[in-house]
Amino acid sequence: MSSGQPRIRPMEARDVDEAGWIFAHGFVPMMQNVFPSGITEGLIRARSARIGHSLQEVRSGKRPKGRMEVVVRDAVDAAGKVAEEEQLLGFVEWRIVDVEMEKQQRVEAQDAEEQDDALDRIMAMYPSDARMDLYKNMISNFDKAHHQYAGKFRHAYVEILGVSPRHARTGAGSLVLRHIAEASAKEDVHNIFLLAAPTPSAVPFYKKHGYKELAKVTSEGLEDSIAMLWTRPEAAS
């Protein structure tokens, strides 16, 4: 069985469970203190629910510049016949951030009388021994770092980029970064911000693609994440 070339398409509902599996497996080393039981069915279900919620928000227009996308490829047998199911190599959640629009959306969210409790329900799905206080603090620190280092200019924000450990070294991550750079250029956006996980391969991978380290982002009970920024070469000159 051979494989076709990786390609990117919009995420569909059928992709959510596999993306949740990737999300759970890809970030556990960093999150050991938050999820002491490691990778469990409960963790995978919660991660899938989190991704499903984001996909619903993108589709409903609550995230007008948000995108949920997957990297897939066809499996091809020896006779050259393409299998019915694609191989899902990875996924990405990202958005174009218009600073003024985001400010207005935050004001509207604070003024809204009805609270969306979907995220609270998702939080309740995590394993019973999960340190959700550490998790919520990490999310808050990520949000602060995002606004501190990229809050004054229009940019793309890569919130999650996950590559399946089943399909490592297929070029999926590089394909995603090139795709975001090209798609951002069409929106006249020339900067991309992300927070890199503290793994031996993450920061060197992003640096290889032109990202620069901005600062360490510290959260209680976790290793430091790294705030990074890519600027289109012609925009930097």
Q: Which domains does the chain have, with CATH numbers?
A: 2-236 (3.40.630.30)
First to last CA, the chain: 47
Distance CA 228, CA 142 (A): 12
- What is the reported pLDDT for 111? 47
Q: What is the pTM of this model?
A: 0.89
What local confidence, expressed as pLDDT, does residue 3 receive?
65
Q: Residue 105's pLDDT is what? A: 57
Decide if 73 contacts 4 (C-beta within 8 A): yes
Mean pLDDT by 10 residues, the chain (237 residues): 82 97 85 92 96 96 93 76 80 92 55 62 93 94 96 96 92 97 96 93 95 96 95 79
- pLDDT for position 199: 85
In the DSSP assignment, the letter for residue 82 is: B
| Residue carrying structure tokens 């604070």 | 110
pLDDT recorded at residue 114: 45
Cross-strand pairs, 215:
227
- With a CB cutoff of 8 Å and minimum separation 6, the contacts of 206 are 177, 194, 196, 228, 230
- What's the pLDDT at 113? 45
pLDDT for residue 101: 65
Q: Decide: helix, strand or coil at residue 20.
A: helix
